[in-house]
């Protein structure tokens, strides 16, 4: 399906006319748009000197390692990570970023 704009005019129930403008594109178009968004987010993060996903993963691993060396209970560790905005994935028991 080619990419492009469409205009839809409707008059539900014979009442006032509604005009809608939309965009349609192929799956390849959607994939390309997703890649562009990821590239833009990475460029923005680099420009703002924000931590990368690898930095965040390294920090989570460091926190978990420190907690293990201090014999911190699992419940306490989960509470600390939750307060820091990090959730523990129940399937893998590995920390994952909140909201993912």
User: Beta-carbon neighbour count of residue 33 at 10 Å?
Assistant: 12
Answer for the pair 47, 57: CB distance below 8 angstroms, yes or no: no
SS3 9: strand
Write down the pTM of the prediction: 0.39
pLDDT in tens, the chain (100 residues): 456 777 777 766 666 777 777 777 778 878 888 899 999 988 998 899 888 778 888 888 888 888 888 888 888 888 887 887 776 665 444 444 444 4
């Amino acid at each position: 399906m080619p990419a492009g704009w469409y205009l839809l005019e409707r008059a539900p129930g014979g009442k006032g006319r509604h005009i809608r403008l939309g965009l349609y594109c192929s799956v390849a178009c959607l994939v390309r748009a997703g890649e562009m968004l990821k590239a833009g987010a990475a460029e923005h993060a680099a420009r703002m000197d924000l931590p990368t996903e690898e930095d965040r993963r390294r920090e989570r691993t460091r926190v978990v390692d420190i907690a293990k060396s201090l014999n911190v209970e699992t419940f306490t560790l989960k509470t600390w990570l939750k307060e820091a905005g990090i959730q523990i994935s129940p399937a893998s028991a590995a920390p994952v970023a909140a909201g993912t």
